[in-house]
Amino acid sequence: MSEVMISMSKIEKTYKLGDNIVHALDHIDLTIEEGAFVSIVGPSGSGKSTLMNMMGCLDKPDGGEYTLGGSHIDRLKDRDLAEIRNRKIGFIFQNFNLLGKLTAVENVEMPLLYRGVKAKIRRARALECLKLVGLEERATHLPNQLSGGQQQRVAIARALAGEPQILLADEPTGALDSKTSEDIMKLLTTLNNSGRTIVLITHDLNVARKAKRTVSIRDGRLQEGEHI
């Protein structure tokens, strides 16, 4: 069968809020296979953002083990984590997080920029990704000249540009109307059908149901299926 992409075992993360200790992640065990489309649902404060940061190597766990695409990353240094983010992960954010001063294609080629890819190859690859999301004609537009849905598609193209092993989407439809949301979800589904592993984090059950597998999180604990 397919290989394991993400393997988390007994992942812990605690925060101190005054005298209280908050268990943002309380011994999380999670396995995601290659080619999966998993949605993680939970209300705000459930720890889903922390989990997302952890998966995305933006944060380090206090305890437990985390393997991503075969490499152990729970005890890596900052610079190695940056490398992993660059090569293995494609982020898609709720508010797109495009750089306003760069054109669409420049935004898309950014992951390759930090990888040291030559300008020509970079541009070609970025245009390819824009084509994939159907925005090749908007390549030279600035983000504020694009609609929300188009911006999110540029962001998806950017996530794809680095050919990551996993796409992490944090409320990708949170800032979009329902029609555009549907388009974005269709795009993600298409991407998944072509073999990409996608982890989707949302509080919206309707969105979560589009995924093949749903995991819910509450008070830092995971449960298979929808339990909200």
Which residues bind to another protein, rule: CB under 8 A? 53, 56, 58-59, 78-79, 82-83, 85-87, 91, 93, 97-99, 101, 110-111, 113-116, 119, 158, 162
Closer Cβ to another protein, 11 or 210, answer by number: 11
CA 205 to chain centre: 18
Contact 111, 89 (CB under 8 A): no
Contact 56, 169 (CB under 8 A): no
7 DSSP β-pair partners: 31, 67
CA distance 139 to 118: 19
Closer Cβ to another protein, 30 or 98, answer by number: 98
Both tokens of 93, joined, read 């954010």
Contact 41, 206 (CB under 8 A): no
Closer Cβ to another protein, 119 or 228, answer by number: 119
CA distance 57 to 55: 5
CA distance 194 to 3: 16
Q: What are phi and psi of 17, to 5 degrees?
A: -115, 95
Least distance (Å) from another protein to the CB of residue 29?
A: 23
Least distance (Å) from another protein to the CB of residue 93?
A: 7
Least distance (Å) from another protein to the CB of residue 145?
A: 16
Least distance (Å) from another protein to the CB of residue 17?
A: 16
CA distance 173 to 206: 11
Closer Cβ to another protein, 88 or 210, answer by number: 88
Closer Cβ to another protein, 200 or 214, answer by number: 200
Closer Cβ to another protein, 118 or 179, answer by number: 118
Least distance (Å) from another protein to the CB of residue 146?
A: 16
Least distance (Å) from another protein to the CB of residue 8?
A: 18
2 DSSP β-pair partners: none
